[in-house]
Chain A
Amino acid sequence: MPDGSVPDAELIDRWRRGDEAAAAELVQRHATAVARFLGAAGGGDDVEDLVQEAFFRAFRGIAGFRGGASFRTWLMAIASNALKDARRRSRRRETLSIEDRDLIDPAADPHGEAVSRDAMHRVEAELARLPRLQREVFLLRAQQGLEYEEIAVALGTTPGAARVHYHHAVQRLKRVAGA
């Protein structure tokens, strides 16, 4: 959620009128969340470029934002497409190797004693092997806290399908985590 006092909608209106400071404020609010999503989804070393690309596409195509979803949800949809396009361009395999991924930093997880690092790495490795939709639905739900309706908008699917993808992802991740 935005942490400023000015609502996203107002900043968007200001950007539509050409206010660059409003666009910069929107970047400040959402860049970290988008980067976290892209990093976990396999953005590798290109995350900052992908974040920039997502915001560029969003601001350039702001006429297409109708406010039916939150700005962050819309941004996640664009980020997902930017990642997909980048992969297509680089012809990377959809299944990522663990070396390419943004591994969990234990220092960022002060309450992580309950879950072993080994289990965390197994979860990350398995997440990389999930089909793209399962992986992104899982991240948008578990990491970004989006509702299924929002995920459906972001990924161009239905809430029911998103729920199924999430369920399958969780089942697979639980299985490897408990192995």
Chain B
Amino acid sequence: MNERELERIARHMGERAARSVNPERVAAGVLARLRAAPPETRRPLPLRLFYAAPTALRVAAAVALIATGGLLARGALRDRPEAPALVAPFLPELSLDELSEVLDSMVLEAPVPEDLTVGLTDLTEAQLRELLKLMEG
């Protein structure tokens, strides 16, 4: 079987599902839900930055921020006056490219497993709040 035949099979896959869907019914259902739904609130900038990034970057960012927070907390406990400068408060000011570059240089040296499916969306609300608190310094 060559690639063209595979593509032809792929085009026919899902055909039954496509035929079973009634676009008019879908449109009516969507519009009814939209009328009933409250307006979507915009996430705060730090979370928007994170949700806009690929999953691997979001995981890396979470790891980096939690690690940074841990180091800062440990430094504070030791009462060292020359504690390292805060990193988290500056993150919201970075563009996505800058954020990616920083994270690449910090934690993405190891290959990310292809099947990695864990992201910020997998964190509980408490964990997200803790992360946001860390980000806000």
**Which residues of A are at the interface with B, using a C-beta cutoff of 8 A?**
20, 23-24, 27-28, 31-33, 35-41, 43, 47-48, 51-52, 55-56, 59-61, 63, 84, 102-105, 108-109, 111-112, 114-115, 119-120, 123-124, 127, 131-133, 138-139, 142-143, 156-157, 170, 173-174, 177-178
Q: A52-B33, A103-B16, A112-B12 are in contact. List 17 more A-B contacts (CB 8 A).
A: A24-B24, A31-B21, A36-B13, A38-B14, A41-B14, A47-B21, A48-B22, A48-B25, A104-B9, A104-B15, A105-B15, A112-B8, A120-B9, A142-B6, A170-B3, A177-B5, A178-B1
Chain B contact residues, majority secondary structure? helix
Chain A contact residues, majority secondary structure? helix
Q: By the criterion CB–CB under 8 Å, are A24 and B27 in contact?
A: yes
The interface bits of chain B over 53-66 (1 if a CB of A lies within 8 angstroms of the residue's CB, else 0) are: 01100000000000
Q: Is B114 an interface residue (CB 8 A)?
A: yes
Q: B46 to nearest A CB, angstroms? A: 16
Residues of B within 8 A of A105 (CB): 12, 15-16
Q: By the criterion CB–CB under 8 Å, are B13 and A102 in contact?
A: yes
Evaluate whether A36 and B54 lie within 8 angstroms (CB atoms) in the complex, with A142-B10, A178-B1 already known: no
Q: By the criterion CB–CB under 8 Å, are B15 and A37 in contact?
A: no
Q: By the criterion CB–CB under 8 Å, are B30 and A47 in contact?
A: no
Q: List 6 A-B contacts (CB under 8 A).
A: A23-B34, A39-B14, A40-B14, A48-B20, A114-B5, A177-B5
Partner pick for B6 among A61, A108, A114, A123, CB 8 A cutoff? A123
Q: By the criterion CB–CB under 8 Å, are A35 and B20 in contact?
A: yes
Residues of A within 8 A of B20 (CB): 35, 47-48
Evaluate whether A35 and B17 lie within 8 angstroms (CB atoms) in the complex, with A59-B34, A60-B40 already known: yes
Q: Is B29 an interface residue (CB 8 A)?
A: yes
Q: Is B18 an interface residue (CB 8 A)?
A: yes
Q: Is B115 an interface residue (CB 8 A)?
A: yes
Please, which residue of chain A has its CB at the minimum distance from the CB of B25? A48
Q: By the criterion CB–CB under 8 Å, are B21 and A32 in contact?
A: yes
A-B interface, 7 closest residue pairs, ranked by CB to CB distance from nearest: A39-B17, A39-B14, A40-B14, A142-B10, A40-B13, A36-B14, A177-B1
Q: Is B44 an interface residue (CB 8 A)?
A: no
